[in-house]
Amino acid sequence: MPRFSIVVPSHGVAGRLSQTLDSILAQSFGDFELIPVCDAPDSPAADVVAGYAERDSRVTPVHSPPSAGLAGARNTGLRSAVGGHVLFLDGDDVLVPGALAALDARLGAVGDVDVLYFEHERTPWWEGEPANPAAPLLAGAPDGAFSPGRVPRLTGVALPAWSAAYRRGFLTEQGLAFPGDHFTDTGFGGLVALRAERVAALRAVVVRHLLRRQGNRLNLPGEHHAELLDQTELVLTRAVEQGLPADRLGPLFEQLFAAVLKTAAHPRRLPAGRRAFFRRASALYRRHRPAGYQPPGGSLGVQHHLLAAGSYAAFRTLRAANRRAARAAALLPRPRGLRTRLRYAAGLRLPLDENLAVYCAYWGRGYACNPAAIHAKARELAPHIRSVFLVEPDAVDSVPRDVEYAVIGSRKYWQALARAKYLVNNANFADAVVKRPGSVHLQTQHGTPLKKMGADQATYPVVAAATGSFARLLARVDRWDYNLTSNRHSTEMWEKAFPGAHEILEYGYPRNDVYYTASAEDVARARKELGVPDGKKALLYAPTHRDYATGFASGLDLAEFCEAIGDDYVVLLRAHYFYDQGSSRGGGRIIDVTGHRSSEDVCLASDALITDYSSIMFDYANLDRPIVVYADDWEVYREVRGVYFDLMASPPGRVARTPEELAAVFRDGTYADESATALRAAFRERFCQFDDGRAAERVVRRVLLGEPPESIPPVIPLAERVPAPAAATLVRS
């Protein structure tokens, strides 16, 4: 029997789960079993956990459906545990180095107590001083084992479940499990403290708890706050049944109602049903108030008196001024220009248009990418929804004639943004755009992340300086309701880069649908439109942006490259869109396609891809055509820009570090040999998970038509997908 069983629920934390598991498995004290609780065998967390289970026999994952909530996940883990003592960690907590050794030593000194409470550190997700809220509660605890009655303020309800180690036999004998769904720590902590006979304290930090940027899920608005009253009633009822002495009942009552009053006074937590919450809380207060109980002083004491009296009107008045000020600040629109502000503010006062959707791509650069693909599918599946595409003045010509558009900054632009029910973007809307209650914001993204993105850029000075205010970036993230992803890697990276309360949709990128739906005729049309000569093989060269470079400067002399590989090839040059200035570069065998509206057409027209670190490689892999990575400055790029994985260790094909190596792989045919094909297959398995030709349909059905997740078409397995045909089969020249 291991000394410890460590239960780690993992719902919604796949991006940070590895940190938790690493902190446990790296402990110097190794007598434990690790029980990660995953939603399902194919969930994002399960993918992370599977690798650990293969490498370490102490990792024994179990599964609990998301509908069972945190309480269900912990109870599932507890039922599977066989260790002497049980610890519960959140999936983004970490054990400090030496934590298990310290717990083992303390238990050895005090004996096998029912509960060993310890300190924890709450670490701000961004910056700020860590806090240790358990320290004051444990400061007066005796040095050895003691009965809970000796420290009346140690009620259990003010400490989270991950701030203690529990004797498994005690939990089993007493039939203790996590109650309810929400606020389960309150109920569990209170019931444990009521039943425990011998407890002890370790006055040292054992767990570091990450404060999520989006805050505790329990603090989000919703009807679930009524469950706080359920847990309060459960604990107080058990305390009375047990005949808890007055000196213990008073602190328990006060700590429970401190949480209740905090919720009752918080306008955002209870957008509806505040009066009903207050009335029920008032009835509970009067029913369970201990004889002779004296409320605390100050403002909190006033709230106690109003709750006892059931005076909701007076309680509401007490908080009204602050609520009005906060609401006014939150709703104040700030677009530039007085006239524009007034028009936009007037539009915000009108009802949402339930059948209006607004789309934008690349800050208004044109009709492109995922928003354009969703727009096209919406016209087919949801024709009742009016769609308006937002573009800059110089991008109006990119919009198909039958597509309604609005020029960014115009009156129509602000009117549409003020009234639209649905807002779809692959970048972000202007900071001035207000997230209206009832509106639905879909962030589609525009690539799979190799380079660091979002908040993860903060530790890279060159990138951070160009990014601007991270506070403003994250305020934009707060407007998202959905975030789209095309593979599990992106799911995990977006969670860290863009922390927020939105839902991840693992539906694939709609812009990549064409790679499975296009015909040979579509490929021929694209080649003709781009000017690819008949009989020539087209190599797409698509380098990415360098944050440390000024302007576009290809690290490859394309004229010399063309000369080196022979006359059978032409090169389609597609520079990063930052450098699209509408002018041509090169000629003859070098065709500049940077300004072409559709990157998808450019990919379809080519026979192979040459890129460095551009995310186009992840999209192009869907075509299952050869990819060569030209990495002449990988070390510099990785150091300055930051990356999520080592591309050199997991490339989509051959890697060349010099112009000579690049030319050689085309001359000798190794760009498409058996080894290169195997690398591409592994790359596709990892990064083409959800792109199958039906991504746009899934998005429209879920987001615009509101269909339930279980009715959305499933992803077609990779082995069953048929990519669009290539125009030519590349062979050795």
In 10 A of CB 686, how many CB atoms? 17
Q: Determine the pLDDT at residue 438.
A: 95
Cα R_g (the chain), whole angstroms:
30
**Which residues are CB-contacts of 68 (< 8 A; sequence separation ≥ 6)?**
75, 76
With a cut of 50, say whether residue 731 has pLDDT above it. no
Share of the chain above pLDDT 70, in %: 91
Torsion of CA 389, 395, 398, 399, to 10 degrees: 20
DSSP per-residue codes, 281-321: HHHHHHHHPPTT----SHHHHHHHHHHHHT-HHHHHHHHHH
645-680 per-position pLDDT tens digit: 999 999 999 999 999 999 999 999 999 999 999 999
β-sheet with 482-484: strand ranges across: 405-407, 386-391, 353-360, 420-425, 440-443, 482-484, 503-505
Q: Regarding beta strands 115-124 and 164-167, do their DSSP bridges make them parallel or antiparallel, or are they unpaired?
A: antiparallel
Extract long-range pairs of 519-526: CB within 8 Å, 24+ residues apart.
519/724, 519/725, 520/724, 520/725, 520/727, 522/604, 522/724, 523/604, 523/605, 523/724, 523/725, 523/726, 523/727, 524/727, 526/601, 526/602, 526/604, 526/605
Give residue-wise pLDDT tens across range 285-343: 999 999 888 888 877 888 898 888 888 888 877 666 445 544 554 454 555 566 776 78
Supply 120's token pair: 């924890």
Q: 473, 580 in Cβ contact below 8 A?
A: no
What's the pLDDT score for residue 236?
A: 95
pLDDT tens digits for range 530-573: 999 988 999 999 998 876 655 555 678 899 999 999 888 999 99
Query: Is residue 68 within 8 Å of 76, Cβ to Cβ?
Result: yes
Give the Cα separation of 466 and 719 in Å (integer). Answer: 41
- Per the model's pLDDT, the better-predicted residue between 586 and 645 turns out to be 645
- Quick check: 692 and 485 in contact, CB under 8 A? no
* Distance between CA atoms of residues 422 and 374, nearest Å: 12
Token pair for 577: 């869109």
* pLDDT for the residue numbered 732: 36
**In this model, does residue 726 exceed pLDDT 50?**
yes
Backbone angles phi, psi at 21, to 5 degrees: -65, -40
Among the listed ranges 140-154, 398-412, 478-492, 577-591, which one has the minimum average pLDDT value? 577-591
> Residue 596: is its pLDDT beyond 70?
yes
Asked if residue 4 lies in contact with residue 86, where contact means CB atoms within 8 angstroms, the answer is yes
d(CA 715, CA 82): 38
Structure tokens belonging to residue 186: 């309150």
Instruction: Please check whether residue 35 is in contact with residue 62, taking contact to mean a CB–CB distance below 8 angstroms.
Output: yes
CB 558 within 8 A of CB 591: no
In one letter, which amino acid is 639? E
Please name the residue that has the structure tokens 């058996």: 674
pLDDT at 463: 63
Q: Quick one: pLDDT at residue 450?
A: 94
Residue closest to 310 by CA, chosen among 287, 281, 271: 281
* Cβ(17)–Cβ(92) below 8 Å: yes
Minimum mean pLDDT range among 261-270, 301-310, 611-620: 261-270
Helix residue ranges, H only, 123-205 = 134-138, 168-173, 184-195
- Please state the rounded mean pLDDT for residues 98-105: 95
Mean pLDDT to the nearest integer, 403-432 = 93
Q: Which amino acid is at 215?
A: G
Q: What is the pLDDT of residue 540?
A: 96
Host H or E run for residue 417: helix 411-419
Q: Look at strands 32-38 and 62-63 and give their pairing.
A: parallel
3-state SS class at 421: strand
Q: Please, are residues 463 and 420 in contact by the beta-carbon 8 Å criterion?
A: no
pLDDT reading at 730 higher than 90: no
Contact 473, 467 (CB under 8 A): yes
Examine the pLDDT at 605 and tell me if it is beyond 90. Answer: yes
Residue 12 in contact with residue 70, Cβ under 8 Å? no
> Residues 692-707: pLDDT tens digits?
999 999 999 999 999 9
Angle between helices 274-288 and 226-241 (to 10 degrees): 10
- Kindly state the percentage of the chain with pLDDT values over 90: 68
Spatial distance between the Cα atoms of 9 and 377, rounded to a whole number of angstroms: 37
Looking at residue 158, what DSSP letter applies?
Answer: T
Range with the poorest average pLDDT among 152-156, 211-215, 491-495, 607-611: 211-215
Lowest-pLDDT range, 35-44, 432-441, 480-489, 611-620?
35-44
| pLDDT, mean over the chain | 89
The pLDDT value given to residue 325? 44
Distance CA(365)–CA(397), nearest Å, equals: 10
pLDDT at 586 over 60: no
- List the single range of 121-135, 143-157, 266-280 with lowest mean pLDDT: 121-135
Q: Where does the pLDDT of residue 124 fall: very low under 50, low under 70, confident under 90, or very high at 90 and above? A: confident
